[in-house]
Chains A and B, each alone.
Chain A
Amino acid sequence: MKVVADLDVCIGAGVCVLTAPKVFDQGADDGLVRVIVETVPSGEERLAREAVDLCPSGALEIVDED
């Protein structure tokens, strides 16, 4: 499973980082989301999904569902 982020949409609310800190971070300069893993580690999938669902701006999307 992979997650992609749309930086034009992200508002930097950081809900993703709060929810799945091993998958997401926020840029120190702009506060916007960074997906910090190439593929979501299997142990983190549930939290990553939750983060995608909770993101208030709809910036996150799951691609490559396996």
Chain B
Amino acid sequence: MVAWSGCAATELKRINFCYRRAMAEPVELPTERLAPLDPPPALRRLREEGPVCRLRFSDGQIGWLVLGYSLGRALLVDSRFSVGEIVQPLGDPEVVAEIDRIERSMPEHKGVLIALDPPQHTRIRRSAASYFTVRAVAEREEAIERIVAGRLDAMEEAGAPVDLMTAFALPLSSFSICEVLGVPHADRERFERPSAVLVDPGADADAKRAALVDFADYCREVVARKREAPGEDLLSDLIVADELGEDEIVGLARQLFEAGHETTATMLTLSVFTLLSERSRWDALRADPEAIGAAVEELMRYLSILQMGTFSRTATEDVDLGDLVVEQGEKVVVSIPSVNRDPEKFADPDVLDLGRNAAGHLGFGHGKHMCIGQHLARWELKVAIRGLLERFPDLDLAVPVEEIPFFGGEHLLYGVEKLPVKWQAR
């Protein structure tokens, strides 16, 4: 009797809980922030009510928003969820749907990792994995250092103030992906432009369609160039290995160009802002450059720049994850800013503690789609921050914090558009 009531009570509580969640009024993804570096307070309120809530996607369909850390991890490793048919919490639903439809009709789509499920995903991801291992990236350290030094020289030459985004962060991350894919740095325009249009919430379907075509043309051209004259790079090796089809290689190239530069540039610029806006943080790293690695990890957790969360996942069958019961066909998004501030995982989650062990944060995602470029991004961030600390120890914001333009809202990322910085010429 006692055992029965204990067990049933828990079960009832759970059913009751799930029922309440299911019946609750769906929310729209909150984006309004009170402080530039803290996620919208509404996210926290929702998380305090439970690890998941009903979410209204921008096309009106109702799905789920995961707010709790352990549920987020459990969901992202669950193979009963597919990445098929992406919907977004925010943004013009017609544009989102139209672009998703066009993308899926393009032959290169076969190589776009984030839109593929196994077994295609596994095959393509593995063909590229050896270029992004911890060791492969470490072997590029010199190349990254050279790129960083080049940008620092250019900044010095230009003289203060400069916009750290355009003078440093963006070229640095674009050049790094150029190195991996083996294209000349001068090509950056060709992939930066279409990528920027594709993520711009203000761009209409026509502009995005044109960007998709431009982007595919560019990637096709790069692959053709490599076929003519192979080098020592990922694309050449993929062509020589002849395990992936042409369209798959082109799509993978597009995905790497696209996912590899704006994210890192946004993260770097926002990180520098975070360090400079409270000088003691900058000075602490200056005094102890060894601490930069751990600091980068904590910044990834704290800043969680993928403000809209992961891409949507669709349940391929009814799934019971305890706190969350999803029906087949329903869509779920994991809020990265929320799970990374979950007090059940991280003590004092709203405190930026550069010395803490932030391992396990979901800033690079989790599961089979976990960021393939994570080690490259870490190296870029580390080498870049170290370079700035060494070259411009007195680096400072060149305008008051109130004048720094933050973006977020319907954008996939949260960051600063521009970061004017200054230093004393030596």
Q: Which positions in A face B, CB cutoff 8 Å?
A: 11-15, 17-19, 21, 25-32, 50, 53-54, 56-58
Chain B residue nearest to A12 (CB atoms) is B129
Neighbouring A residues of B375 by C-beta, 8 Å: 14, 18
A31 to B137, CA, bound (A): 12
Task: Name A's interface SS.
Answer: loop
Q: Inter-chain contact count A-B, CB under 8 Å?
A: 71
Nearest CB of chain B from residue A43's CB, rounded to whole Å: 17
Query: How big is the B interface, by class?
Result: 20 to 34
Contact, CB under 8 Å: B366 / A31: no
- Would you call B58 an interface residue if the criterion is a C-beta within 8 Å of the partner chain's C-beta atoms? no
Question: Does B135 touch A at the CB level, under 8 Å?
Answer: yes
Report yes or no: A11 in contact with B125, Cβ–Cβ below 8 A: yes
Contacts of A56 in B (CB 8 A): 76-77, 365-368, 370
A54→B362 CA distance, assembly (Å): 10
Q: Is the CB of B131 within 8 A of A57?
A: no
Given A18-B375, A58-B77: A11 in contact with B129 (beta carbons within 8 A): yes
Q: Which residue of B is nearest A7, CB measured?
A: B126
Query: Across the two chains, which residue of chain B brings its CB closest to A54?
Result: B360
Roughly how many angstroms separate A21 CA and B136 CA in the complex, as a whole number?
14
Q: How far is the CA of A51 from the CA of B350 in the complex (A)?
A: 25
Asked if B263 is an interface residue, CB under 8 A from chain A, the answer is no
Give 16 new A-B contacts, CB below 8 A, not counting A12-B133, A14-B374, A31-B128.
A11-B370, A12-B125, A12-B132, A13-B371, A13-B374, A14-B133, A14-B375, A15-B374, A28-B135, A30-B130, A31-B136, A32-B129, A53-B360, A54-B360, A56-B368, A58-B77
* A25 neighbours in B (Cβ, 8 Å): 135
Q: How far is A28 from B370 in the complex, measured between Cα atoms in Å?
A: 20
Show 8 A/B contacts (Cβ-Cβ < 8 Å), sorted by A.
Answer: A11-B126, A11-B368, A12-B125, A14-B374, A17-B133, A28-B136, A53-B360, A54-B360
- The chain B residue with its CB closest to the CB of A33 is B133
Residues of A within 8 A of B122 (CB): 11
- Cα distance A18–B132 when bound, in Å? 12
Would you give the shortest CB distance from A37 to chain B, in whole angstroms?
Answer: 17
Q: For A53, list chain B residues within 8 Å (CB).
A: 360
Residues from chain A with Cβ under 8 Å of B367 in the complex = 56-57
**Would B132 and A54 count as touching, CB distance under 8 A?**
no
The reply to whether the CB of B372 lies closer than 8 angstroms to some CB of chain A is yes
Interface: B102 (CB within 8 A): no
B residues in contact with A29, CB < 8 Å: 130
In this complex, which of A14, A17, A21, A57 has the most chain B Cβ atoms within 10 angstroms of its Cβ?
A: A14
Check B126–A12 contact: CB distance below 8 A.
yes
Residue of A nearest to B365 (CB): A56
